[in-house]
Amino acid sequence: MGTLCAKCGNDNDLGKIFCTKCGVKLDLSAVTSEDLIAIATPSWFKRNAKWIAIGAGCFLLFMFCLGMWPKKPLATKTTRPNARAAEQKIASLHRNLKMGESISVKITQVEANGYLMWRKHSMGVTAATISFADNMFFVRVNDTLGPWKLGPIRMAPRYSYDLTGTFLDGRLYYGKAHVGHLRLFGPAKKGRIKALTALFEKNKDKDIFKKLSKVKFRSKEATLTVGKKR
């Protein structure tokens, strides 16, 4: 509600002295000082805009950190015999491939995790774990960032990423990717696939993994085949 112009009837905003339409001096006798204080005082939101922005920023940062929070490895109890069983099966793939024969071996989830657990040092990560389901696998890498030095403080925050994938027609395909609890898309997802591939490049059995012609995933086990496709 403003001040009506006596000449042209224009409704002028409170605080105006001359009509904004025709320029005639307005009759301000009805305007009280309370009215003017009300328009001169910024709203609560305007007065606290800085703090609201800082609060919103902190909240978003908190949610982001919560989302980035690492997930636990998929398997924790693995034994050296499990690892050895998987190593022997992979060695038999090597031997048969050299002789040009096609062979399949069944590796259980426990054996696969044993294998990964005993090779994590060569891969340079805290943990790499895997789980098998019908027609797909789920792999998770736990590691630390940095270390970063901030004055006397040494920081090495933990993080995890995971990827789902499947093996079709002699090729590996990746599905969903996450860092912590945050789903990744596009270049971020591609980056994680590259990171995982780089990890496996450090493995001494990488050649055999590249020559897999078929991999069948079932609940808690995977059947690896090298040689001619069947």
Give the footprint of Zn ion on this chain (CB under 5 A): 5, 7-8, 10, 19, 21-22
Q: Which is nearer to Zn ion, 6 or 56 (CB)?
A: 6
What's the closest the beta carbon of residue 10 comes to Zn ion, in angstroms?
5
CB of 48 to Zn ion, least distance (A): 37
Q: Which two tokens stand for residue 24?
A: 């005639």
Nearer to Zn ion, 17 or 153 (CB): 17
CB of 19 to Zn ion, least distance (A): 3
CB of 3 to Zn ion, least distance (A): 10
CB 9 → Zn ion: shortest distance, Å? 7
Residues 6+ apart with CB under 8 A from 22: 5, 7, 8, 10
Q: Which is nearer to Zn ion, 21 or 202 (CB)?
A: 21
Positions of E strands within the chain: 3-4, 11-12, 103-108, 127-133, 136-144, 148-150, 153-155, 158-168, 171-179, 182-184, 212-218, 221-226
Cis peptide before 147 (omega within 30 of 0): yes
Backbone dihedral angles phi then psi of residue 187, each to the nearest 5 degrees:
-60, -35
d(CA 171, CA 186): 20
Q: Which is nearer to Zn ion, 19 or 90 (CB)?
A: 19
Q: How far is the CB of 12 from Zn ion (least distance, A)?
A: 8
For 172, residues 6+ apart whose C-beta sits below 8 A from its C-beta are 165, 166
Shortest Å distance, C-beta 2 to Zn ion:
12
Nearest residue (CB) to Zn ion, 24 versus 168: 24
DSSP assignment, residue 25?
Answer: B
Nearer to Zn ion, 18 or 59 (CB): 18
**Where does 75-225 have alpha helices with state H?**
80-98, 109-117, 120-123, 186-201, 206-210
Q: Which is nearer to Zn ion, 23 or 175 (CB)?
A: 23
Beta carbons within 10 angstroms of residue 178's beta carbon? 18
